[in-house]
């Protein structure tokens, strides 16, 4: 006689399958999320990419080439830093994983150099990418220069104005920055345009996607390339303290730095995992970008996940003081991790993030990116509710890029 599995048994099975790599399934599904919702013309390119991942990612040659680029050029392993003054202030034992010290200032370079190496193996002639705040554009421009690949980055004309220094950096690195004047003229329209370009010649063009989003196999590819964060951090904190952390905290925009931290820790059941979304200036639709906390399921940019949309399915404008968290979608693996309860997702608003940023600057001499400051603030809240614990925080990037925004905000 067969007994219907309970909800918690089903959740446990899905978690096991994430850990052993049998999720996503052959259709790119993470449970009900993920998949591939794209024009027919792109299916062969996505299948080539999937085959390319199978052919190359796990070979000794590719792994060695990637390892060498990460070590010699990106500066990995990034340090794990104990922060004694924050630890004292919070009544906890706090450690930062320092992606802010990676080349170009954030974790994004791990993904850009990895995908660019793969694109070279696939024999493509040019790279296209999208960027919002410009961080993914800069990382991709640098990776393409390093590997001698021509690159075009699509960027909304509003973002081009807001992020002038990053536009200059991309151009200086030899990348063509292509202004997008359609749609919302920000990141969402830039992704649409990059996909449109890619559709016209998917055989010779490689679309280098910047977060753990998009059609299968991108969410998996980005997770694989960013997992170096959690793998290093796990080994480093064991080495430094002889134990694993009680909790790991990371900020979630599209979800790439967080999945890179969390995925390698999924099997360590004793570690609580917390993702922090941007609460912006309030809970009303349009005032935040807390997709998992406030969204509903739907399709955006080729995958089925959680989404900020109105009752008619119109994708909504978002707001966050941190441009890197300001996206109305989120990666499908996070949607599943929330559903099965392995990761908790919390919301931190602009003001609280800024306060945590200021505290970090003054107590530890580290200027975090505004995105990473959300993780800091989320960890600080957790520390107050759970005194005396060991806390690992993903410091996804440095705040130098945020100086134009910070100049307008209180010290
Ligand atoms: C882009 C960015 C993020 C958000 O992107 P994820 O894909 O969610 O990681 C977070 N922090 C920094 C510093 C960024 O540049």
Per-residue pLDDT tens digits for 291-331: 999 999 999 999 999 999 999 999 998 999 998 998 999 99
Catalytic member of 99, 130, 352, 371: 130
pLDDT digits over 326-375, tens only? 899 999 999 999 999 999 999 999 999 999 999 999 999 999 999 999 99
| Mean pLDDT taken over the chain | 96
- Nearest ligand 1 atom to alpha carbon 105: 13
Using pLDDT thresholds of 50, 70 and 90, give the confidence band for residue 1: low
Instruction: Tell me whether residue 281 is exposed, middle or buried, using C-beta atoms within 10 angstroms of its C-beta: 0 to 12, 13 to 18, 19 or more.
Output: middle
Question: Which pLDDT score is estimated for 65?
Answer: 98
Integer Cα distance of 110 and 242 in angstroms: 27
11 part of a folded domain: no
- The residue among 317 and 212 whose pLDDT is bigger is 212
Using pLDDT thresholds of 50, 70 and 90, give the confidence band for residue 258: very high
Low-confidence winner among 44-48, 75-79, 193-197, 316-320 (lowest mean pLDDT): 316-320
Q: State which of 222, 253, 280 marks the end of a domain.
A: 222
Which of 97, 249, 256 maximizes ligand 1 atoms within 8 Å of its Cβ, making it the mutation to test the pocket? 256
411 part of a folded domain: no
Q: How many CB atoms lie within 10 A of CB 315?
A: 17
206 part of a folded domain: yes
Structure tokens that stand for 170 in this block: 């991309």
Q: Is the domain of 278 the same as that of 361?
A: yes
Supply the pTM of this predicted model.
Answer: 0.98
How many Å lie between the centroid of ligand 1 and the Cα of residue 395? 10
6 part of a folded domain: no
Q: Is the domain of 173 the same as that of 266?
A: no
5 part of a folded domain: no
Q: Is the domain of 336 the same as that of 388?
A: yes
Q: Is the domain of 272 the same as that of 385?
A: yes
Portion of the chain with pLDDT greater than 90, in percent: 93
Q: Structural domain tally of the chain? A: 2
Please report, for the domain that includes residue 301, its CATH number.
Answer: 3.40.50.1100
Reply yes or no on whether 4 is catalytic. Answer: no
Q: Is the domain of 331 the same as that of 251?
A: yes
State how far the alpha carbon of 51 is from the alpha carbons of 55, 115, 295, 367, in Å: 6, 14, 33, 41
Average confidence (pLDDT) over 244-253: 98
Q: Is the domain of 206 the same as that of 160?
A: yes
Question: Which pLDDT score is estimated for 92?
Answer: 98
307 part of a folded domain: yes
Reply yes or no on whether 227 is catalytic. Answer: no
Q: Is the domain of 238 the same as that of 387?
A: yes
How many Å lie between the centroid of ligand 1 and the Cα of residue 256? 7
Average confidence (pLDDT) over 16-28: 97
Using pLDDT thresholds of 50, 70 and 90, give the confidence band for residue 75: very high
Average confidence (pLDDT) over 25-31: 97
pLDDT digits over 157-166, tens only? 988 988 899 9
Task: Quote the domain boundaries for residue 164.
Answer: 32-70+108-222
Which of 259, 325, 337 maximizes ligand 1 atoms within 8 Å of its Cβ, making it the mutation to test the pocket? 325
Using pLDDT thresholds of 50, 70 and 90, give the confidence band for residue 245: very high
Where does ligand 1 bind, in terms of residues with CB under 6 Å?
A: 106, 108, 135, 211, 251-258, 324-325, 369, 371-372, 396-397
Average confidence (pLDDT) over 242-266: 98
50 part of a folded domain: yes
Q: State which of 189, 222, 255 marks the end of a domain.
A: 222
Q: Is the domain of 143 the same as that of 243?
A: no
Q: Is the domain of 112 the same as that of 102?
A: no
Portion of the chain with pLDDT greater than 70, in percent: 100
Question: Which pLDDT score is estimated for 368?
Answer: 98
DSSP, collapsed to helix, strand or coil, labels residue 12 as helix
259 part of a folded domain: yes
pLDDT over 80 (residue 2): no
Reply yes or no on whether 305 is catalytic. Answer: no
Question: Which pLDDT score is estimated for 163?
Answer: 86
pLDDT digits over 36-45, tens only? 999 999 999 9
Specify whether the CB–CB gap between 151 and 141 falls below 8 A: yes
Q: Is the domain of 348 the same as that of 373?
A: yes
Q: State which of 188, 222, 256 marks the end of a domain.
A: 222
Backbone angles phi, psi at 3, to 5 degrees: -110, 130
Whose CA is closest to atom 3 on ligand 1? Answer: 324
Q: Is the domain of 184 the same as that of 292?
A: no
Q: Is the domain of 335 the same as that of 387?
A: yes
């Amino acid at each position: 006689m067969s007994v219907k599995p309970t909800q918690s048994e089903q959740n446990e099975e899905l978690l096991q399958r994430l850990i052993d790599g049998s999720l996503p399934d052959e259709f790119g599904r993470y449970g009900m999320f993920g998949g591939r919702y794209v024009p027919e013309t792109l299916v062969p390119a996505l299948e080539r990419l999937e085959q390319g991942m199978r052919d190359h990612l796990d070979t000794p040659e590719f792994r060695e080439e990637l390892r060498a680029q990460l070590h010699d050029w990106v500066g990995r392993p990034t340090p794990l830093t104990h922060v004694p003054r924050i630890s004292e202030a919070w009544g906890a034992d706090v450690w930062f994983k320092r992606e802010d010290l990676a080349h170009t200032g954030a974790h994004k370079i791990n993904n850009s150099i990895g995908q660019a190496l793969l694109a070279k193996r696939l024999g493509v002639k040019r790279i296209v990418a999208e960027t919002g705040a410009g961080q993914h554009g800069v990382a991709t421009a640098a990776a393409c220069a390093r590997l001698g690949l021509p690159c075009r980055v699509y960027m909304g004309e509003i973002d081009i104005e807001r992020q002038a220094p990053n536009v200059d950096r991309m151009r200086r690195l030899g990348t063509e920055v292509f202004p997008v004047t359609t749609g919302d003229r920000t990141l969402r329209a830039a992704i649409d345009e990059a996909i449109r370009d890619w559709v016209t010649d998917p055989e010779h063009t490689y679309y280098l996607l910047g977060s753990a989003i998009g059609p299968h196999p991108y969410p998996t590819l980005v997770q694989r390339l960013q997992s170096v964060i959690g793998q290093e951090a796990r080994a480093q904190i064991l080495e430094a303290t002889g134990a694993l952390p009680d909790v790991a905290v990371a900020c979630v925009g599209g979800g790439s730095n967080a999945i890179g931290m969390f995925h390698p820790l999924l099997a360590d059941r004793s570690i609580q995992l917390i993702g922090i979304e941007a609460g912006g200036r309030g809970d009303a639709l349009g005032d935040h970008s807390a997709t998992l906390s406030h969204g509903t399921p739907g399709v955006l940019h080729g995958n089925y996940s959680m989404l900020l949309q109105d009752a008619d399915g119109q994708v909504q404008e978002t707001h966050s003081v941190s441009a890197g968290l300001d996206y109305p979608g989120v990666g499908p693996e996070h949607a599943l991790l929330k559903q099965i309860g392995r990761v908790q997702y919390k919301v931190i608003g602009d003001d609280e993030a800024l306060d945590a940023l200021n505290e970090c600057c003054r107590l530890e001499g580290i200027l975090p990116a505004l995105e990473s400051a959300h993780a800091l603030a989320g960890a600080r809240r957790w520390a107050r509710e759970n005194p005396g614990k060991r806390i690992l925080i993903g410091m996804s990037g440095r705040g130098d890029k945020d100086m134009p925004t910070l100049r307008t905000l209180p010290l």
